[in-house]
Chains A and B, each alone.
Chain A
Amino acid sequence: MSVHLDDLHFSYPPISAGAPAVEVLHGVTLDVPAGQSLAIMGPTSSGKSTLALVLAGLAPSMTGGVLTGQVQVNGQDAAATPAAVLSASLGIVFQEPERQLFNMTVAEEVAFSLEGLALPPQEIGERVELALAQVGLTGLEERSPWQLSGGQQKRLAIATLLAIRPPILLLDEPMAGLDPAARREVAAVLADLRRTAAATVIVLEKDAEFVARWAERVVILAAGQVVLDGTPTAVFTEVERLHELGVAVPQMAELAARLPNLVASAPFLTARQAAAVLVPQLPTLAPNLHSPLPTRQPPVYAPQPAIDVREATFRYENGTLALDRLSLAVPAGQFVAILGRNGGGKSTLARHLNGLLRPQSGAVAIGGEPSAGRRVGELAREVGYVFQNPDRQIFATSVREEVAYGVRNLGVIGQEAGQRVDEALTVFDLTAVAETPPAVLGYGLRRLVTLASVWAMQPPIWVLDEPTTGLDVRYTGILMDRLRSLHERGNTILFITHDLRLAAEFAERVVVVDGGQTVLDGPPAAVLSDAVALSSFGLRPPPVTRLSALLAPYSFPHPTLTVEEFAAAWSSAAGNGER
């Protein structure tokens, strides 16, 4: 056994003296055989990250807290072995690569771990070369780690561990914060590890599509216990259970659960597998398949655009051209999803909308008025900006203070300010934690605090920069639900995301930004189904759209953008067929 857990309990020390200890693992029992590729999934606060720290020998030694039960990692007692010694048996990659890379060059970053093993310089050189080749970073040896892209940093962090050649590798959310292209790079490295089975690989991950493709075995952790354990197919068939737990499910598994009369000859987790199962059943539906999809009503907008960017050009001091004569007009009340590679100009565009950056040529108008000459603080009345990382703004001593901060800066005082804050706290279910310091809350709640603080400012335009990064299904659901209600009230929403499923479900318009320009722009059905165009910008249509494309030759309606649409098309055909 690589890893042997028996009735593992772990509790953190109380936050303040006198408070009860916080038990996060309640009797985890788990055996992982050598060479297995295991994915552990679970909602926020399921105890996943704590389990990772325990396995790496970092908890309780560096976190404090009490551990009972057995933890054996490669035959060693993880609770009693110093982390530095255990690191030869189990290597761990943390979520944020920028906090675990601390050398001046890529090659030295990898060599650092090996110097600690006291290997001779000659062998260090060989292992550095090999580890960088394994993650596809050959040629970047002399670059600074912090000048790499997000995907490259993740792969470098993996290389620093591969070089040690531990029998067990543990990765905490390897896909977090990466764009789809970078996810595929990291997935390729992990697939390679699985193929060679050189090590036991344990991945803690929220990305169900990746887990479905990669893992041999999936373990679902909820409230500190193992609740499901099996092959991806077996686990992801429990769609309803997973929804209840707040665990993401691959879109195809969701679809399988929604199709009535489905003769499931084999379970499916990917679009290709789904097509193999569904195509043979199409002839029975065929006569009724011509029923066109209910078209989404094109909404009617006010003539005045809320956001009007004209030929905006922006070049950073280091010479990077981030916006290249970009134009984008957004009518008031529209819900726009902005997609595209990291570094393509999405965030730079967003920062032009509230005046954090100003175009070097071209113009930006907000609410019909040029933004030039208006300070960021003034534009804050009209443009609410939700940053990617909630911790960039959280500073106050209580959630209430944090939410009130922006309102007060707008000059709103007295009763009205109090009402707005109370309303925002209620809308985001934060009333119970109103007096808690926001910095000690979990990540999902910290995200809600930042949303509430913008909500209270009541801006007509919302700009959100990858707001769902790091959120589990439940918090993503809360976020999207509140955005939908803002949209229904006539607010303009600009939503930057890497999640094409969310874009397909919520947006009225999809814009792809690449190379500082808008390269694709149109209704979701047009943009998200254009696999060829999307692929040149590192994107792929959502699985259900890929599936309808595969079924289109059999006159199945295409494109379907959501599970609901597909299921509706399928069941209306099937229902008619029975009649």
Chain B
Amino acid sequence: MLFDLYVHTDGWLQRLDPRTKIALVLCGAALFVVMNHLLVLLALLVLIHVMLLSSRVPLRQIAWVWRQLLRVVIIIVLIWPFFARLAGPEIFSIGPFTVTWTSVWAGLATATRVVGMSLLFFVILFTTRQNELVRGLVRLGLPFEWGLTLSMALRFIPTFSQTAAQIRDAQAARGWQVDRGDIVGRLRGMTPVLVALIIDVLRTGDTLGMALAVRGVGSGRPRTVWRDISLRRADWVVLALIALIFALLIYLRFARGFGAELI
């Protein structure tokens, strides 16, 4: 689950073209940036959950993201009010710090932005096969070689992490343990694992370069695509909806001041 985030269920988000989802995420992220009102931000956050759940992404998958973010969220909510120094009804003050209700709301708003934007990112990862994502980026203008590099990087993360685990085992069997102590000591203790891993990465890179060459990469010929992605009717509908809602909210925000204030 850690490496292949794609949820193998058939939902409406999974069926969309990756480019549609990229547009969705970019517009969503922009709204998180321009909107300031806490309730508007919370509403956007709820909307993301509704989208994920309605597309059959399991709750535990979403909970996993929350767990990863929990520490950051707690820190923001607790620390922000002390440093935001926003004018408003005072709750209490300690020494140089004056905590106001406004600062507390601002902390919550910031935490909501962090969680919302992270979840948006996972909307893509949970609902898009890695190769389709790369294909989408290539169709949006990323050079093929870059796309290939990106997809191979994703592909080899689990391989290298497995190799690292095997190396740790092999060194442990010779009595290796990570030194207790300061960071420098610990880094030095990691040498037997890191060096062996780097040698493996270099060897893999060598072979991979050859494997790509013998499968025709670098011949200078144009390539075809076997199963290309395509924008279907559903994609156009969703894209139109995104454009409409996004335009409307931006108009309201900048012409009418909707959601411009924190509270």
**Whole-angstrom distance between the alpha carbons of A384 and B93 in the complex?**
63
Q: Is the CB of A118 within 8 A of B223?
A: yes
Indicate with 1 or 0, residue by residue over B87-118, a CB within 8 angstroms of chain A CB atoms.
Answer: 00000000000000000000000000000000
In the assembled complex, B254 has its CB within 8 A of some CB on chain A: no
Q: Is the CB of B163 within 8 A of A121?
A: no
Nearest residue, chain B, Cβ from A390: B170
**Whole-angstrom distance between the alpha carbons of A436 and B175 in the complex?**
23
In the assembled complex, A518 has its CB within 8 A of some CB on chain B: no
**Whole-angstrom distance between the alpha carbons of A83 and B217 in the complex?**
9
**Cross-chain contact of A91 among B4, B214, B217, B224 (Cβ < 8 A):** B214
In the assembled complex, B215 has its CB within 8 A of some CB on chain A: yes
**Cross-chain contact of B155 among A104, A120, A384, A387 (Cβ < 8 A):** A104
Q: Is the CB of B227 within 8 A of A393?
A: no
Within 380-406 of A, Cβ neighbours of B (below 8 Å) are at 380, 383-385, 387, 389, 391-396, 405-406
Nearest residue, chain B, Cβ from A394: B196
In the assembled complex, B33 has its CB within 8 A of some CB on chain A: no
**Cross-chain contact of B173 among A99, A385, A395, A396 (Cβ < 8 A):** A385
Q: Is the CB of B223 within 8 A of A116?
A: yes
Known: A108-B226, A389-B166. A98 touches B159 (CB 8 A): yes
Tell me how far the C-beta of A244 lies from the nearest C-beta in chain B, rounded to whole angstroms: 32
Q: Is the CB of B211 within 8 A of A100?
A: yes
Residues on B with beta carbons closer than 8 Å to the beta carbon of A190 = none
In the assembled complex, A351 has its CB within 8 A of some CB on chain B: yes
Residues on A with beta carbons closer than 8 Å to the beta carbon of B185 = none
In the assembled complex, A167 has its CB within 8 A of some CB on chain B: no
**Whole-angstrom distance between the alpha carbons of A380 and B169 in the complex?**
12
**Whole-angstrom distance between the alpha carbons of A116 and B60 in the complex?**
40
Nearest residue, chain A, Cβ from B195: A395
Nearest residue, chain B, Cβ from A456: B174
Indicate with 1 or 0, residue by residue over A356-385, a CB within 8 angstroms of chain B CB atoms.
Answer: 100000000000000000011100100111
Residues on A with beta carbons closer than 8 Å to the beta carbon of B212 = 102
Residues on B with beta carbons closer than 8 Å to the beta carbon of A394 = 196, 199
Nearest residue, chain B, Cβ from A122: B226
**Whole-angstrom distance between the alpha carbons of A410 and B175 in the complex?**
6
**Cross-chain contact of B175 among A83, A108, A380, A395 (Cβ < 8 A):** A380
In the assembled complex, B222 has its CB within 8 A of some CB on chain A: yes
In the assembled complex, A56 has its CB within 8 A of some CB on chain B: yes
Residues on B with beta carbons closer than 8 Å to the beta carbon of A88 = 216
Q: Is the CB of B172 within 8 A of A115?
A: no
Tell me how far the C-beta of B209 lies from the nearest C-beta in chain A, rounded to whole angstroms: 6
**Whole-angstrom distance between the alpha carbons of A112 and B151 in the complex?**
13
**Cross-chain contact of A58 among B155, B170, B210 (Cβ < 8 A):** B210
**Whole-angstrom distance between the alpha carbons of A53 and B204 in the complex?**
16
Indicate with 1 or 0, residue by residue over B166-209, a CB within 8 angstroms of chain A CB atoms.
Answer: 11011111111100000000000001110110011001100111
**Whole-angstrom distance between the alpha carbons of A113 and B210 in the complex?**
13
Tell me how far the C-beta of A357 lies from the nearest C-beta in chain B, rounded to whole angstroms: 9
Q: Is the CB of A83 within 8 A of B214?
A: yes
Within 81-137 of A, Cβ neighbours of B (below 8 Å) are at 82-88, 91-92, 94, 96, 98-100, 102-105, 108, 111-121, 124-125, 128
Q: Is the CB of A119 within 8 A of B224?
A: yes
**Whole-angstrom distance between the alpha carbons of A406 and B225 in the complex?**
52
In the assembled complex, B236 has its CB within 8 A of some CB on chain A: no
**Whole-angstrom distance between the alpha carbons of A96 and B207 in the complex?**
9
Interface centre among B151, B152, B158, B216 (most CB of A within 10 A): B216
Q: What is the total number of residues of chain B having a CB less than 8 Å from a CB of chain A?
A: 53
Q: Is the CB of A439 within 8 A of B199?
A: yes
In the assembled complex, A354 has its CB within 8 A of some CB on chain B: yes
In the assembled complex, A146 has its CB within 8 A of some CB on chain B: yes
Q: Is the CB of A393 within 8 A of B174?
A: yes
In the assembled complex, A535 has its CB within 8 A of some CB on chain B: no
**Whole-angstrom distance between the alpha carbons of A376 and B174 in the complex?**
8
Indicate with 1 or 0, residue by residue over B142-162, a CB within 8 angstroms of chain A CB atoms.
Answer: 000000000110011011000
**Cross-chain contact of B219 among A102, A116, A120 (Cβ < 8 A):** A116
**Cross-chain contact of A62 among B169, B173, B177, B210 (Cβ < 8 A):** B210
In the assembled complex, B130 has its CB within 8 A of some CB on chain A: yes
Residues on B with beta carbons closer than 8 Å to the beta carbon of A396 = 192, 195
Residues on B with beta carbons closer than 8 Å to the beta carbon of A58 = 210, 213-214
Q: Is the CB of A377 within 8 A of B224?
A: no
Tell me how far the C-beta of B48 lies from the nearest C-beta in chain A, rounded to whole angstroms: 26
Residues on A with beta carbons closer than 8 Å to the beta carbon of B166 = 387, 389, 392
In the assembled complex, B129 has its CB within 8 A of some CB on chain A: yes
Within 144-166 of A, Cβ neighbours of B (below 8 Å) are at 144, 146, 160, 164
Q: Is the CB of A62 within 8 A of B209?
A: yes
In the assembled complex, A409 has its CB within 8 A of some CB on chain B: yes
**Cross-chain contact of B225 among A57, A121, A351, A383 (Cβ < 8 A):** A121
Known: A100-B211, A104-B151. A84 touches B219 (CB 8 A): yes
Q: Is the CB of B224 within 8 A of A124?
A: yes
**Whole-angstrom distance between the alpha carbons of A87 and B196 in the complex?**
32
**Whole-angstrom distance between the alpha carbons of A383 and B175 in the complex?**
11
In the assembled complex, A50 has its CB within 8 A of some CB on chain B: no
**Cross-chain contact of A146 among B159, B195, B199, B203 (Cβ < 8 A):** B159
Residues on B with beta carbons closer than 8 Å to the beta carbon of A354 = 173
Known: A99-B208, A115-B226. A405 touches B192 (CB 8 A): yes
Q: Is the CB of B228 within 8 A of A121?
A: yes
Q: List 21 A-B contacts (CB under 8 A).
A: A83-B214, A87-B214, A91-B214, A98-B159, A100-B211, A105-B131, A111-B227, A112-B215, A114-B224, A116-B221, A164-B216, A376-B173, A377-B172, A377-B177, A380-B173, A380-B174, A391-B196, A391-B203, A393-B192, A396-B195, A405-B174
Other A-B pairs, 12, CB within 8 Å; known A118-B222, A160-B215 = A53-B210, A87-B214, A113-B215, A114-B226, A116-B221, A121-B226, A354-B173, A376-B175, A385-B170, A387-B166, A405-B176, A406-B174
Chain B interfacial positions (CB closer than 8 Å to A): 4, 129-131, 151-152, 155-156, 158-159, 163, 166-167, 169-177, 191-193, 195-196, 199-200, 203-204, 207-228
